[in-house]
Chains A and B, each alone.
Chain A
Amino acid sequence: MIHIVTAENIGSYQYEMEQAYRLRHNVFVDEMGWDDLRKPDGREIDQFDDGRALHMLYIEEDRVLGYQRMLPSMRPHLLTEVLPHLCEGDFPVGPHIWEWTRYCVTRQHRDRGRILSPVGNLLLSAIVEWGLASGVQKIIIEMNPLWLLRLVQLNFRVTPLGLPQQIGKDSIIAVTAAFDRRTLKKLQEVRGNVVPAVVAQPEADQRLRA
């Protein structure tokens, strides 16, 4: 299930975060060939992994099987610093907008037969649960345009920030995806239950929820 890790509780997640950085390196460097991110110690950590980043970890029996990172749009993030050419107008910025990056799932737990995997569904559900509870309404995504149809079918309101561009051998588009209760309902319907995806989060977030 999904654990939310921020500066507040990262101290008690050292072992899991270590696995998360290694999972990121395995997926993005070794598998997808993003060589700019290669690190000699096999831990993929960048300048955005600072005190303001919010990590979401899918953990099963102490093993990190899925990961994603949320960055506040009010501070420098990938779209503004690394991929600004994907956004043709003004950057979407605000306390209710966060950027979704580094989504990854271990190979064994990935989409089978092209259906959104249960781990993938829970990671997406975690964003929506967290967003609905904390006032976040919209996420910025840089992704393969192929994902667009699925997001729309999951009741995200997806708005392109630019046209798809070729980066290396990948086609990539920047969008914002707004969500609400209907999105959560659809994700629950697809996975067939309404059990919350997020099982642990920092105290501050829990106070926000109460």
Chain B
Amino acid sequence: MSRRTLDDTLTFIARVDKASTPAEIADAVVDVARPLGFSHVLAGIIPIPGMTAEQQISNVVLHRWPKAWSERYFTKGYLFDDPTIQRVNASTEPFLWSELEPTYRNTPAPTRVMGEAREFNLGCGFTVPMITLNGQTAGFSLASERAEVPSVLRGQLQLIAMYAFARALGQKYKPAPVNLTPREMDILQWMAEGKSDWEISVILKVSEHLVDKIARQLRAKLNATNRTQTVATALRHNLIR
């Protein structure tokens, strides 16, 4: 039993390693969690209090969650009343949502959030708290109308959560590819070596006006406001030889 669970987990890890989009990762998660009854997954960095709905949504890295519920949840700021979020901030042990029920039974706000989630077929859930390399708190939740997690499988779900989350996080924050022309690349290299527009124009035997124009193109492409930031961003993108 346990050996098979490990093999399933290793197969899952191999599949996630090959996945190239968050949607493929979510597919892999739902496939491996379906036998337990789960059909939805949501994972992200836990927002800090005061963040707008847009900021909260931008923290999500995996989303296979009822859309209507997500919209309602984020626009109404339910996150800050959500008892599962409170638990993720307080403890690193994975938990079933049903285990939290006694902690909020007589408090209206969390009772409403969990009650409304049930109306969107998310009555039963399992959440894995995580801590990222930067020290941020993160959560990974599986949910559906009805599911069961035998205690021996909690560890498996914890592993699945961490691999899926790490992979999705890596994809989300991978710098978007920047395509530069050969001329832009040339000028960028000289900029990285600290040459001025005039010096570059002499080296490349072109007009200073052209160098200035291309430097501005580079700023736009790399979303930078000045020369230093252009070079720093280019370094991060591995564009400097």
Which residues of A are at the interface with B, using a C-beta cutoff of 8 A? Answer: 88-89, 111, 113-116, 145-146, 148-150, 152-154, 159-160, 162-165, 171, 173, 190
Contact = CB atoms under 8 A, between A and B. Distances in A.
Contact of B155 (A159, A164, A190): A164
A152 B155 contact: no
Interface string B83-127: 000000000110000000000000000000000000000000000
Contacts of B162: 145, 148-149, 152
Contact of A163 (B130, B156, B166): B156
Interface stretch (B58-66, B132-140, B186-194): B132-140
A68 B158 CA distance: 26
B10 A159 contact: yes
B201 interface: no
A38 to B, nearest CB: 27
A154 B134 CA distance: 11
Interface of A is mostly: loop
A159 B158 contact: no
B135 A160 contact: no
A171 B159 CA distance: 12
A159 B10 CA distance: 8
A149 B133 CA distance: 8
Nearest to B17: A157
A153 B13 contact: no
A51 B203 CA distance: 61
B179 interface: no
B6 A153 contact: no
A111 B132 CA distance: 13
A88 B6 contact: yes
Contact of A160 (B9, B93, B132): B9
Contacts of A115: 133-135
B2 interface: yes
Interface string B7-26: 00110010000000000000
A152 B163 contact: yes
A146 B166 CA distance: 12
Given A149-B162, A150-B133, A152-B163, 17 more contacts: A89-B6, A113-B135, A115-B135, A145-B155, A146-B92, A146-B131, A149-B130, A149-B131, A149-B132, A149-B165, A149-B166, A150-B131, A160-B159, A163-B9, A163-B152, A163-B155, A173-B155
A32 to B, nearest CB: 16
A190 B13 CA distance: 25
A163 B131 contact: no
B132 A163 contact: no
A165 B154 CA distance: 10
A190 B158 contact: no
Contacts of A173: 155, 159
Contacts of B152: 163
Contact of B166 (A111, A114, A152, A164): A152
Most buried by B among A89, A148, A149: A149
Contacts of A88: 2-3, 6
A190 B169 CA distance: 16
Nearest to A165: B155
Contact of A148 (B5, B10, B159): B159
Contacts of B135: 111, 113-115
Contacts of A116: 133
Nearest to B163: A152
6 contacts: A89-B6, A148-B159, A153-B169, A163-B152, A163-B155, A163-B159
